[in-house]
Amino acid sequence: MHLLINAIGFGIASGAVIALGAVGFSVQFGISNVLNITYGALMTLAAYIGLALVDRGLSAWAALPVAAVVVGVVSVVFRRAVLEPLVQRGTRPFALVIVTVAAGIVLQYMIVAVAGPDSQSYGPQSGPTLHPVGMALTAGQIAIILLAAALMLALHLLLTRTQLGRAMRATASNRILARSCGIATERVSDVAWFCSGLLCGAAGVALAITVVSFDFTLGPVFLIPMIAAAVLGGIGQPYGAMLGGLVVGIASEVAGAYWSPGYKDVIAFVILIVMLLVRPRGLFGAVWSARRLLS
């Protein structure tokens, strides 16, 4: 029982990071209908920006918001400079996916050219071990859980309590109708990509803190659990991605505790395949999605 409780605790901590990335990924897809595989490389970029700031004397926690904002800006520039011109020319969705894959590989090896291929580390960031409700979690893991909860709450308030959030939901639901109603859909899309990049950057630094040692493959490897979480909750649905992140995180840690740590990534693949076979629209189907976006 003690093993299960600790595995669930680690799963919540892991799921918090997965949820951060998965929600940002879903926001991007929901607003633009583009499956952006570059997202993983942007997480790696955030981790290395955080590393550069840590090497200059900042703590990882102070570097996190800076890296998140930088990646948010890079995300908007990528949409404006690369994806939007292709969309305007009528490029098919599959071709756009290939472009994002290629852009991710280019960015990944640009990072290698600058920082090198060797493993890097922020140094000790975990803090003392605490025991909330019987779980053994470090202060760093608890801080990441609280950070994820705060960012999820902020996104929820943005989407449901502000004029901008209503414009984002309208644009995600029907871009043409939203534009005809006077909504500046391009500006709204920029804001959505900035917000998703912000979450991507926060997830990248949080992941680097969690795994302790990382290299240039950090983001692309972590992309599979994020996509599994997004598909589980319903791709394009940020609320579903929050739940999906927790489910994938807990399932992976429990599998690692009872079988082998090597099965953690396998569980994410299994969840992804099963959901695509059984319920490809995710736990929250299209009817719920439309109602939620338009509410």
Of 129 and 184, more confident: 184
Give CA–CA dist 258/178, Å, rounded: 50
pLDDT score recorded for residue 288? 40
Q: Read off the pLDDT band of 1 (50, 70, 90).
A: low
CATH of the domain at 78: 1.10.3470
Query: How many structural domains are present in the chain?
Result: 1
pLDDT score recorded for residue 291? 40
pLDDT score recorded for residue 290? 41
Mean pLDDT rounded to a whole number for the chain: 87
Q: Read off the pLDDT band of 285 (50, 70, 90).
A: low
Q: What are the tens digits of pLDDT across the range 72-110?
A: 999 999 999 999 999 999 899 899 999 999 999 999 999
Task: Please determine, for residue 292, whether its predicted confidence score (pLDDT) is greater than 60.
Answer: no
Give CA–CA dist 192/55, Å, rounded: 31
Give CA–CA dist 135/161, Å, rounded: 35
- CA count, 13 A, side-chain hemisphere, 111: 30
Structure tokens at 235: 């791709």
Average the pLDDT over 204-220 and give the result. Answer: 91
Let me know: does 282 contact 26? Beta carbons within 8 Å. no
pTM for this predicted structure = 0.89
Q: What percent of the chain has pLDDT over 90?
A: 48
Structure tokens at 292: 């939620």
Q: What are the tens digits of pLDDT across the range 225-268?
A: 898 888 888 777 788 888 889 888 988 888 887 787 777 778 88
pLDDT score recorded for residue 293? 42
Range of the domain at 47: 2-294
Give CA–CA dist 161/88, Å, rounded: 32
Give CA–CA dist 273/265, Å, rounded: 13
Q: What are the tens digits of pLDDT across the range 31-75?
A: 888 899 999 999 999 999 999 999 999 999 999 999 999 999 999
User: Cβ of 289: how many Cβ atoms within 10 Å?
Assistant: 21
Q: Read off the pLDDT band of 289 (50, 70, 90).
A: very low
pLDDT score recorded for residue 284? 62
- CA count, 13 A, side-chain hemisphere, 141: 21
Of 199 and 4, more confident: 199
Q: Read off the pLDDT band of 139 (50, 70, 90).
A: confident
Give CA–CA dist 26/153, Å, rounded: 16
